[in-house]
Amino acid sequence: MQKRGGRGPMNGEMMCLTCGDVYRGVDDLDWLTPSGEKGPPPPVVRRHSDRAVRRDWVAKGYLPHCGRGHLMPGADGLGNPLLVMSLFGEKGAGKGTLLRGMERRLSSGHLIPRGISGSVRKDQEGRFDREYPDAPLESTQRATEDKPRVPLYFDVTVADRLPTQGAQTNTRRIDLAVFDTGWEDQQTEAGVALAAPFIPYTDVIVFVVPPASLALLPPEIMQPPGTVELQSPTQTERGMNVVVSRLLDADHTPDERRRRATVIIALTKCDRYVGIDSFPSDLLRDRDYGPSAPPVGSQMAAEQAQLNAFVRDAGGLQLLNRAAQINGTVSIHAISGTGADDPRRAPAPVAAPNRSLDPLVLGLLRTGAWPSGAAVTA
């Protein structure tokens, strides 16, 4: 297939997030059933009789693949907007459990009061259950040029107004692609460009920062007795440097980066911070997504000053400064109970499960993935 120049999916082209090849549209892709049967591109519905053809095509389960055989977003072939989220962090930092918590809360309908619903794409359900079971999660392996990252695809629907507003609600479907990565610190930056081509096209960049990455925390908080930590401040900074350098070296202007990238520092395992005076204990309580709650964007904004002060006091100033180099703005979020302190034990209890939705909600809000943003900000 012919690869085109351009900056990827934000320009309306279709890009394979695994290998980086860019295509003109659905007709340039391979459409295969899960059993490998090749079929036609999605039929265009121009008249009533075309609807039966379309239903039959959907029923056969055709999925888009690039010329190298990688699964693509856009399973329904309708050209839905694409939102790319990438979680970056060391092994055991809590990336997988944050993602599992996000999927559980999203598919359970906890964002419906804010006009958002969704779940793992149907063809991805088996993979998700295998890779993110309720048992302790295995650490993410490093990507290579021969074995690049493969995203998980979600179907998300966003309403243009809150369900409680009474007026007729219009909905918009969004293809969400999520990368659960490991730090690329064992590769050269040139290797990262080949193994992780999705980095410059990521809309929601989530740096996962566990207690062991904050150098000025008490030792018993960074590494409780009897635990095995796989993270350190040096590793976190090194890994973040590789990702940020790749983003800054990409063919984007500063204005494009500001418009595109939502940069998040997700503080994980925050249940360890109980009793630390400088940590805002209110953030160990769950996020309120109820219809009578304050606007979600306002809730998040009100937390930033306290979280910023905590991260600075805990030794994370260098991390904040490095993340801010992407587009000048970093949002900090507190995620409780992600992962087990001891890999032989069950995951720690999640004290505030709704907060695992923060990266997705903020990404939808910041990227304008729906016309007015009313579903989150009203």
| pLDDT tens digits for range 208-236 | 999 999 999 999 888 887 676 678 899 89
Q: What percentage of the chain reaches a pLDDT higher than 70?
A: 81
Pairing of strands 204-209, 262-267: parallel
Q: What is the pLDDT of residues 266-296, one digit of tens each?
A: 999 998 898 888 999 888 888 988 888 888 8
Asked if residue 119 lies in contact with residue 106, where contact means CB atoms within 8 angstroms, the answer is yes
Handedness of CA 315, 318, 323, 327 (dihedral sign): positive
Which pLDDT value is given to residue 163? 65
Residue 350 CA, chain-centre distance (Å), reads: 19
Mean pLDDT for 69-96 is 90
Say how far apart CA 256 and CA 69 lie, in whole Å: 30
| Confidence band, pLDDT 50/70/90 cuts, at residue 323 | very high
- Indicate the pTM of the whole model: 0.89
Say how far apart CA 92 and CA 210 lie, in whole Å: 9
For 143, the token pair is 């990507």
Handedness of CA 365, 352, 241, 180 (dihedral sign): negative
Strand order in the sheet with 152-159: 116-120, 152-159, 171-180, 82-88, 204-209, 262-267, 331-334
Residue 31 CA, chain-centre distance (Å), reads: 26
pLDDT beyond 80 at 104: yes
Spatial CB neighbours of 196, under 8 Å, sequence gap ≥ 6: 143, 148, 149, 179, 181, 184, 246
Closest CA to 6 of 262, 256, 328: 256
Closest CA to 66 of 119, 8, 121: 8
Strand order in the sheet with 63-65: 38-39, 30-32, 63-65
Where helices occur in the chain by DSSP H, the ranges are 50-59, 95-107, 125-131, 189-195, 219-222, 233-249, 254-260, 296-313, 317-324, 358-366, 374-377
